Amino acid sequence: MTSSFKTKLATAFLTPIMFSLMAGLYFANETYDFSFYFMVVLIYSCLPILLIGLSFSVAMGALYNRLNIRSKALQLITVILAYAAAGFLGTCIYCAAVTLPGGVDWNWEDVRSLSAFGITASLLLATIEYMLSLLSILKRKRGN
């Protein structure tokens, strides 16, 4: 799953939009409609996904290229586990960045409640990146 920086950047811009669509559809209720949740999740997820998600994606791409795994099943398992771990680590970084400057005690309750969102966003980023890299491969094959 090697992809260029342009693909990773496009993925980083598409992921918050798709994540906000999913969260808006999931959380919409009688009190607040889809558009409210879409905007709230988009505002609060865009910066962490662009900064933390893109940097982890580039770092994992470099590490993944050095590993040079041949088996497709092992590649998929490695990518899923790496992105899930990066989602959890990104949640820890996000919680520390939000709570520590204000003098709030950082505890694992915040991380545990938000880790599902971080892991979901990270796996969505991996899925979109994989799909965009497949589209670029198909585009190159059709062009030749």
| CA distance between the termini of the chain | 21
What is the DSSP-derived secondary structure letter of residue 30? S
Report whether pLDDT(105) > 80.
no
Residue 144, pLDDT score: 63
Span 45-94, pLDDT tens digits: 999 999 999 999 999 988 888 888 888 899 889 999 999 999 999 998 88
Q: How confident is the model at residue 5 (pLDDT cuts 50, 70, 90)?
A: confident
Residue 31 in contact with residue 80, Cβ under 8 Å? no
- The model's pTM: 0.88
Give the chain's length: 144
70-79, long-range: CB < 8 A, 24+ apart: 75/1, 79/1, 79/126, 79/130
Q: How confident is the model at residue 108 (pLDDT cuts 50, 70, 90)?
A: confident
Query: Which residue type, as a one-letter code, is found at position 134?
Result: L
Strands (E), 41-134: none
Residue 2, pLDDT score: 60
Beta-carbon count within 10 A of 116 CB = 12
Show the tokens assigned to 92.
């820890």
Closest alpha carbon to 23 in 35, 36, 41? 41
Report whether pLDDT(104) > 90.
no
